[in-house]
Structure formats: C-alpha cells, structure tokens
C-alpha cells in the first residue's frame, strides 16, 4: 500500500472513533443536565445553550486553525483537536454544576474541530485526482461514528451512569492522540514563492465570487439538513406514534445511507468535469428536497425508505461540494478554505436548528419540512450559479 493510503486509513479509524466517542453523549445532554439540576425549570434553555455553544465558538475559530495549519503543519492541528477533546471530556467527568458544563462545552468548541483538522491533513497528503474519494471515505467515517456512538452511550448510561461516558470518551480521544502522534508523518508546508504569491493574487480576483457562492451553498445545505432536527423526534412520536426504538431507526437510516454512499460518490465524482459537478449536485439537492416533502405522511416503512434515500443524498452534497471548492484555490491555501467552510457549516447548523424551533412554535411540522425543502431548492439554484461563474472564468 502506498504511504499516503496508510496515513488515510489511520485517519479514517481515528475520525470514526473520535466521532463515536463524542456522539456517545450528544443525544443525552438534556437527561444529564436534568440529573445535575433536577429542580431547575430552565433545563430546556440550558440544553439549547449547551448544544449551540460549541457550534458558535467553533464557527469563530475554525478559519484561524486552518490558517495555522497552512503555516505550521496540519499534524499539529490534528493533535491539538484530539487532545482538546480528551481534556474537555475528562473535565466533564468532574462537572457538578450547569455552568461547569457550559464552560467546558465552550472550551471544547474552541480547542476541538477534529473533522476539520483531519480533512486538512488528508487533503495535504492526497494526490489531487484522489481527493474526492478520500473526502467521501472520511465522510463515511463520520457517519459510522455518529451511528455507533449514541448506541454505545445509551448502553453505558442504562447500565452504568453519565460520567462513565465522559471518562471513556476522554480515554478514547487520548489514545487516538497517541496513535496519531506516532503514526502520522509530520509535514510543514513550505511558504509560497514570490511568483506563486503574485499568481495567486491574480487568481484570487477570479475565484472570490466562486468561493463566496460555495460558502453560501454550504450554509444553505447545513441549514436545510439541521432545520428538521429540532422537531423530527417529536413529529415521529406525536404524528406517527413511533416508539423510541423506531425513532432511533429513522435517525439511523439517514446515517446508514450517508455512510454507504459517500465513498461511492467520491469515486464517481472523479469522472465528472468541474463544469458538470455543480449540475450533478444540483440534481441531488432537488432529490433531497423531494425527500423532505415525502416526510409529510404517516407510513413508517415509506418514511424509513425516504430517510435512507435522503442519507444517500447527504453522502454526496457537502463532501463533494467541499472537494470541488478545494480545486478553486492554491495548495497552500487549502487549510484556510476548509476552515472557512467549517465556519459556514457550523453557522448553518445553528441557524437551521433555531429556525426549526421557531417554525414549530409559530406554525406546524409540515411547514418545517416545506421550508427545509425550499432551502434545498435554494442550494440547487446556488449550484447553477457556481457553474455559470466557473464557465465565465474559464
């Protein structure tokens, strides 16, 4: 096996384990907070803060971690992220007040960012023609971790307690840090030459619009994905009379579809031209929009199938859009671009979850799914605009 492939395999395993470690606690924050403060009448507000706090902080700092990776090497950023997770998860073991948890989640958002750091490192060592494949494979690692984590966390909480989850997650992330410190090859990017800097200034003028459209598309994608997440469990319980087990299956169906499809999409996108890639993604976005509209029905088996198909769409949309955007910039700017993309991913998640909650307060579940479907149509329009601007520049 080529050396870079071994490095990617190590990164895949570590990303899978780190995401699984984090997702062990993610669905259960309201239960843990209620245990910490059983007589607090504002647990819902605290839950919202603890979910959103790391997203907000991460959206602010992610571009700067990307810049530091471009300047000083992406291995350092990977180790910083995994060690940051280990430390903050370990400190959560000792949290005894709600504000302790909030402070540690804020710190986690500032120090972590494993997905971004690993993506930057993988992009740096992967041959250009294989980057779509690698991004797809890493996306499947994220999806697999997100499926396994809640299951393991639920078992641990059921039979032991919440703090056991934090202790195990901290130990896993520390072991990952050790494995990566030994297994990853150090790589300090060289600064661009004066000729490259002069060339990049000319290129930057041409691609600024493309990057801006790409970031807007990422924001819309994540807002559309996150919008129903704030009410889907309630919708399934109240309108479909689904049990917690069935609700878990419905959530997992999308993750399984994403996990299975992302590597396949990565291989397929190698064969499309840059001009055609936005067209393909626009078609997939329209399919995702149709999936949201098909959520508005009461057949559980059909909904399970729709969720799986939606997951197939997710396996292409964000990973392949990021792979396309990376081709718009110079090699030494990739970390900066990936960091900026992560900012818009986090902001899209925040806006989507918040908008979903407000829509349910003001209207009903059907309106929530319709608005999310419209956002996917907006994604398709933005992708057509990217294609048009790319053709004008080439």
DSSP annotation string for 4-34: HHHHHHHHHHHHHHHHHHHHTTGGGHHHHHH
Task: State how far the Cα of 64 lies from the Cα of 140, in Å rounded to an integer.
Answer: 26
Q: What is the mean pLDDT of the chain?
A: 85
1-189 and 195-394: same fold?
yes
SS3 161: coil
pLDDT in tens, 317-354: 988 898 888 888 777 777 778 888 888 988 898 888 88
- In terms of phi and psi (left: phi > 0; alpha: psi -120 to 50; beta: otherwise), the region of 273 is beta
Task: State how far the Cα of 285 lies from the Cα of 217, in Å rounded to an integer.
Answer: 11
Helix axes 244-269 and 232-239, enclosed angle (nearest 10): 130
Task: State how far the Cα of 277 lies from the Cα of 315, in Å rounded to an integer.
Answer: 15
292-320: average pLDDT: 92
pLDDT in tens, 77-136: 999 999 999 999 999 999 888 899 999 999 998 887 888 889 888 888 888 788 888 888
Return the domain boundaries, the chain. 1-189, 195-394
pLDDT band at 195, cuts 50/70/90? very low
Torsion of CA 267, 272, 273, 276, to 10 degrees: -130
pLDDT in tens, 15-35: 999 999 998 887 777 778 888
pLDDT band at 199, cuts 50/70/90? very low
Helix axes 162-183 and 131-159, enclosed angle (nearest 10): 150
Task: State how far the Cα of 157 lies from the Cα of 255, in Å rounded to an integer.
Answer: 22
Residue 185 and residue 2 in contact, taking contact as beta carbons nearer than 8 Å: no
Q: What pLDDT score was predicted for residue 104?
A: 93
Task: State how far the Cα of 100 lies from the Cα of 68, in Å rounded to an integer.
Answer: 29
Task: State how far the Cα of 278 lies from the Cα of 287, in Å rounded to an integer.
Answer: 14
Q: How far is CA 115 from CA 16, 234, 338, in A?
A: 10, 29, 10
CATH code of the domain made up of 195-394: 1.20.1250.20
Structure tokens that stand for 214 in this block: 């790409």
Residue 306 and residue 291 in contact, taking contact as beta carbons nearer than 8 Å: yes
CATH code of the domain made up of 1-189: 1.20.1250.20
pLDDT in tens, 165-186: 999 999 999 999 999 999 988 7
Would you say residue 394 has pLDDT above 70? no
pLDDT in tens, 151-167: 888 888 878 888 899 99
CB atoms inside a 10 Å sphere around CB 341: 25
Cα dihedral sign for 28, 29, 35, 41? negative
């Amino acid at each position: 096996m080529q050396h870079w492939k071994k490095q990617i395999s190590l990164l895949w395993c570590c990303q899978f384990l780190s995401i699984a470690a984090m997702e062990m606690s993610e669905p259960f924050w309201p239960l843990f907070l209620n245990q910490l403060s059983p007589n607090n009448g504002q647990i819902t507000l605290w839950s919202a803060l603890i979910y959103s706090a790391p997203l907000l902080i991460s959206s602010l700092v992610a571009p700067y971690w990307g810049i530091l990776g471009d300047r000083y090497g992406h291995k350092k950023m990977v180790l910083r992220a995994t060690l940051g997770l280990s430390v903050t998860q370990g400190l959560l073991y000792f949290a005894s007040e709600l504000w302790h948890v909030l402070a540690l989640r804020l710190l986690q958002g500032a120090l972590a960012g494993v997905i971004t750091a690993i993506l930057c490192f993988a992009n740096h060592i992967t041959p250009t023609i294989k980057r779509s494949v690698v991004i797809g494979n890493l996306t499947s690692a994220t999806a697999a971790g997100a499926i396994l984590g809640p299951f393991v966390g639920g078992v641990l909480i059921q039979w032991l307690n919440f703090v056991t989850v934090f202790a195990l997650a901290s130990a896993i992330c520390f072991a990952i840090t050790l494995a990566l410190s030994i297994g990853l090859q150090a790589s300090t990017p060289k600064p661009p030459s004066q000729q490259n800097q002069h060339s990049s200034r000319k290129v930057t003028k041409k691609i600024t619009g493309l990057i801006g459209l790409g970031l807007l598309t990422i924001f819309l994608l994540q807002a559309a994905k996150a919008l129903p997440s704030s009410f889907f469990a309630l919708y399934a319980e109240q309108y479909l009379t689904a049990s917690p087990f069935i609700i878990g299956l419905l959530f997992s169906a999308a993750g399984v579809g994403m996990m299975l499809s992302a590597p396949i999409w990565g291989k397929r996108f190698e064969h499309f031209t840059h001009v055609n890639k936005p067209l393909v993604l626009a078609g997939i976005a329209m399919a995702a929009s149709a999936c949201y509209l098909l959520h508005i029905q009461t057949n559980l088996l059909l909904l399970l199938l729709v969720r799986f198909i939606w997951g197939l769409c997710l396996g292409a949309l964000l990973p392949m859009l990021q792979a396309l955007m990376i081709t718009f910039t110079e090699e030494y700017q990739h970390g900066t671009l990936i960091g900026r993309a992560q900012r818009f991913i986090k902001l899209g998640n925040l806006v989507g979850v918040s908008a979903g909650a407000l829509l349910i307060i003001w209207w009903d579940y059907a309106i929530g799914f319709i608005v999310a479907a419209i956002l996917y149509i907006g994604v398709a329009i933005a992708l057509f605009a990217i294609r048009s601007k790319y053709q004008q520049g080439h």
